[in-house]
Structure 1
């Protein structure tokens, strides 16, 4: 069957293409998009809520489906939601006055958050159409927001999906096992996810405040002014979503084996492992790398083996991830404090043998005298100074 055949295939008299058109246009006028779409709101005010189909065809997603106004009008007349009305001449549409759009206020967005779920574990190559189709299997999905990295705009592998009802959102989360192309998904309510991220931010702020206080205390005790800058350079940058726990390791596995095994999947920044232990923790360099690695591993036909041992991996997330970073920063701070104490102790010690200076100059002078036939006392001094310099 060709793509054209698929688009023309119909269910209850509605072709696949018409279903996509209905879904897209109803999204434009739906409860999720319309209250925040300033452009469309402005157009609605111009003509008693009517908008020309020609205007809608300037929107990229609809334009990718069709460029013909009559195709859009014909499709929308087949919709059963009764959300939209099509003008008699088939050139304009509007949201039904019997179903007014909600107001754009705090209560409205709070309600949308309660209808939304957070899902993580999608491959970076997933598209919006694929995700809409996926979530549509679990109920009426009115929006999918693909989360992206700010700098690169690449897909993080996580989304916020909004269902039409709270019951549909709860049913999605209640399912024991949800996979996307054999990849296990991590799921929660959006409100729970936001609360967890808030705790993580507070934990980072708390650690930053402690570190700042420690630096100020060290400076007050007589630091030389260069310690703060050095510590800032050494402080670990918190990178979320980069930690992977690996299980099933053999007794002969080394950290080099682990780094070599995972290097093809992502840049490994650190391997936390003691030889002989069955588990290790890997930290990757880039945000979100852990799930990206899991996605790649899941796409392989064969499980990953290290030294002939089949291993499993899981992302370290949520409270476990926060705890990991807390321990890491505390360990680094402890090492710095111990190093500072050693340096301060040395700073107040008298210069011992081997510090150079005038004694070495005297040694050189006496050595020269000895070469010229100086007395035995000069030779003995040369020997003493020579030993001191060697130390």
Structure 2
């Protein structure tokens, strides 16, 4: 009987992913995986457990499988693939995997990693790890990329990427460069400077929270300084008549024109993730150490070495219009214009935060009543949401801390945009690239270029 095997593309992704789990870039910061190794007699980890991590599930097509749900054939196929790695070792029975060499003291490894790491900002809220890796790999070999969360709300990307290079010299050379990403000049600094600034920000956040807590009773009736109830988060799922896949499984994002469509498992690229947060993008280690924490923490940072799809840094309006025309009649591709035509039935739509190929986004209505009408219609609909081409859009309100952070970030980015615009005009438009905004795209409305630097999925 033939041994179960993985196809070539899946095998490459699996090797990259598992090698990253056990790498010096990830393991010292990955409390769960490190504890699992320390608790084992042979320093190895169950392959069924590794296969149940969310990125691995995506590569292997395992859905929401838990370790006990991973089939024996899948474990065997992964084991055979990992036996080709010179960095990993697989047990004789093919059920466990580990490092060939022992990990040095975590604190020493982290210290060595930090001197090879730089911080780069500002980056758009939904920037992809593989895109950052591809960009910096043009200047030096990149070991890994991390996208730390916002100190005030761990659901949000901070706007700064941490890039670890293969050598300290490479990191120092990149720091000397003047680089622009998506039409905006980057601020580059050593990770130590980033850590110092972040520590101060965390102190300020704690002070603010303490003050808010002590004054909460006195300010129970105080009104927020932003309009409430205008923001609605939506998520696209394929209509049951056409299957249950989300949109990302069917169409390539606009900025991947000419490349193969990206699947849901590729949205962040494959690579580093067990200790931070799924769907997030954090370089901050979550101290939880149970399996649920790992599943939550798996999406947040990725070593993007080997990523194949080079994404354009910016795209002209003509090309964007061409893309819209190409997809206008394609029922499997949702455009912002499609969403607007649905949402504006309930009232005035101010802005739709969405990119082709995404499975979620936000709509900002002109008034709270319109937002309520849209949500009510979605809840009452027989399909469980609003029909948009071959998809169903489910709606959730964005409230409380998430709503406040949305407006704070919106205002912050508006100020940054104005400052960048003035600065670029003063330098003869060197980095303005024909009037493009913060996100490197042409404005479609007065809101373009001032979108909050937030992650795509904010729990309401």
TM-score (norm 1): 0.45
* Structure with the higher helix share, 1 or 2: 1
Question: Greater relative contact order (Cα 8 A, min sep 6): structure 1 or 2?
Answer: 2
TM-score (norm 2): 0.39
